[in-house]
Amino acid sequence: MEHTFTSTHGATAALVRRRIEQGGERIWRLDDFRDLSLAAAAQALSRLARQGSIRRLSKGIYYRARQTAFGESRPNPATIRKLAAQRKGVFPSGIAAASHLGFTTQNPNRAELATTALSLPRKLVGEDAVIRTRRPGAWSSLDDTDAAILDFLRRGGRASEFSPAVTIRRMLALLTEPGRYARLLAAADTEPPRVRALLGALGEQLAVPRVDTERLRMTLNPLSRFDFGLFSALPNATAWQAKRWR
């Protein structure tokens, strides 16, 4: 019996190694070996990681690199973010959010992520990743674009490469997609006051039902003033308690 057990594990290890070597540069998950004994596959992956053939990113997730002129290749950030998102709500943030929305052609030197979780595994998202945690649970019902819009509004659109007028026009176009403003409105209660004020000002420009914008206005302290960033150029910004444009 022991001989059979050892033989099975050895055969599985050989299959795992062969697949990885033939697969070239890519990310491997334990789930990729469901046609084999998962226990034996897990041991084989762990052994290959110790030998340096693959790199462990997180539990059950490994990366097979390739050599480049600048050293070993690194996992594709978008793929990594999708893997992380399968475990917890993970969304583009900062410059990554602006790039996702089409406001900049820049790509951050390191991953910028927002998450509803308290933390993310550094080995999965990158040791140098910028992780903004504790985003509201309401973000879990949003897609990447919806969440990126909220992140972009939180920053007053400052990552935009465009003028305030063009930035506003592009944002209004994004908000006209069917159902989008309603989804953001549903998540607005858990957003900072400046985001609620911005959504109200933008909603007025879109001529959404007055009852929706007034509901947002009722949540704001009338004595407060908010930094709208580039969105201070909105014609109704002052009416929505924006600080004066400088």
Residue range 94-112: mean pLDDT, rounded: 90
- At residue 6, the pLDDT reads 52
**pLDDT at position 68 over 70:** yes
- Furthest-apart CA atoms within the chain: distance in Å: 80
Residue range 21-44: mean pLDDT, rounded: 87
Beta strands in the chain (DSSP E): 26-29, 55-58, 61-64, 67-68, 71-72, 90-92, 112-115, 130-132
**pLDDT at position 55 over 80:** yes
Looking at 45-54, 116-125, 149-158, which range is the least confident one? Answer: 116-125
Query: Is 90 within 8 Å of 146 (Cβ atoms)?
Result: no
- At residue 3, the pLDDT reads 45
The residue assigned the tokens 């099975």 is: 8
Query: Is 132 within 8 Å of 170 (Cβ atoms)?
Result: no
Q: Which amino acid, one-letter code, is at 2?
A: E
pLDDT band at residue 84 under the 50/70/90 scheme: low
Residues 6+ apart with CB under 8 A from 10: none
Q: Quote the radius of gyration of the chain (alpha carbons, Å).
A: 24
Q: Give the tens place of pLDDT for each residue, 168-211.
A: 999 999 999 999 999 999 999 999 999 999 999 999 999 999 99
pLDDT band at residue 2 under the 50/70/90 scheme: very low
In whole numbers, what is the pLDDT of the chain averaged over residues?
Answer: 88
H or E element, residue 41 = helix 38-51
Residue range 32-56: mean pLDDT, rounded: 89
pLDDT band at residue 240 under the 50/70/90 scheme: very high
pLDDT band at residue 86 under the 50/70/90 scheme: low
In the chain the domains, ranked by start, together with CATH numbers, are: 2-72 (1.10.10), 77-240 (no CATH)
Residue range 6-29: mean pLDDT, rounded: 83
Beta bridge partners of 130: 112
